[in-house]
Amino acid sequence: SYVLTQSPSVSVAPGQTATITCGGNKIGSKSVHWYQQKPGQAPVPVVYDDSDRPSGIPERFSGSNSGNTATLTISRVEAGDEADYYCQLWESSSDHYVFGTGTKVTVL
């Protein structure tokens, strides 16, 4: 089965940039989505289709995808960005949706 690997945690000071990676075999050939989840809440999409932002999501959230790594970048990090972040894609060969292992972003 297809596996998406994320680093467990990222710590960043306010105003700095957080970079969250999602590794998968030839993930650059797939469409990757990113979700933010705060404690006790449902996930919220923050990036669609590698790099598009849903309406209402700040421009500080951006994404890219190439080779074996997809990346979510949060610029000018704010305290309210502290959350778990998950990558996700549809794996056509297995007809399965796949989520990454998740990354906890801590704002120092």
Partner 1 sequence: EVQLLESGGGLVQPGGSLRLSCAASGFIFSTYPMSWVRQAPGKGLEWVSGISGSGDNTYYADSVKGRFSISRDNSKNTLYLQMNSLRAEDTAVYFCAKVRGSSRVNPFDIWGQGTMVTVSS
Smallest separation, CB 64 to partner 1 (Å): 16
Tokens of 3: 């596996």
B/e letters for 29-56, b = 16+ CB within 10 Å, e = fewer, are ebebbbbbeeeeeebeebbeebbebeee
To partner 1, the closest distance from the beta carbon of 38 in angstroms equals 13
Rounded Cα gap, residues 50 and 72, in angstroms? 9
| Binding flag, residue 33, partner 1 (CB under 8 A) | yes
Please identify, among the stretches 13-21, 61-69, 73-81, 94-102, the one whose residues bind partner 1 according to the rule CB under 8 A. 94-102
If one asks whether residue 37 binds partner 1 (CB under 8 A), the answer comes out as: yes
Q: What are the phi and psi torsion angles at 29 (to 5°)?
A: -90, 0
95 binds partner 1 (CB under 8 A): yes
* The two structure tokens encoding residue 12: 């960043």
Rounded distance, CA 56 to CA 34, Å?
15
* Residues 49-78 contacting partner 1, CB under 8 A: 49, 54
Q: Looking at 77, 86, 105, 107, which residue binds partner 1 (CB under 8 A)?
A: 86
Binding residue for partner 1 (CB under 8 A) from 20, 23, 35, 62? 35
